[in-house]
Amino acid sequence: MRVLVQRVSSSSVTIDGECCGAIGAGLNILVGITHSDTEADAKYLAEKCVCLRIFEDEAGKMNRSLLDIGGEALIISQFTLYGDTTQGRRPFFGDAARPEIAEPLYEKFIGFVKAGGVKVATGRFGADMKVEIQNDGPVTLMIESK
């Protein structure tokens, strides 16, 4: 499992012209799932995201977590995180899990983040979404469970 974590001032997701999720300061989290991922991967990455110290303290150092700042999370499914571009010019997505595997794990990940005490907004699994991200820093990290 992979997550692309972006520290944001705000972020929102729109589907068919309608805003279905928006947050203020916090994390925009794009979630990619592969065939071998399990609930343990979802739990590990959710805890990592909730506790990751990438928000500035009074001294300007990245020393605070999402919980420390009372931040929110916008969580979006993103199968293209498993796109392979090593050959040719068109990405290969064979490493991305099929929806019947990916969607339940995506939902588990959301549940684990919520259980960690974070207010969560989401997109819709499999939908064509427009995501607006006000990246703060910018701070962007790729985190993997394996």
CA 68 and chain centroid, separation: 18
**Residue-by-residue DSSP string for 44-55:** HHHHHHHH---E
Preceding amide of 99 cis, omega within 30: no
Nearest to 120 by CA among 31, 52, 18, 28: 28
* Catalytic residue list contains 140: no
Give the N- to C-terminal CA distance of the chain in Å, as an integer: 7
Catalytic hit among 80, 85, 122, 140: 80
Catalytic machinery residues: 80
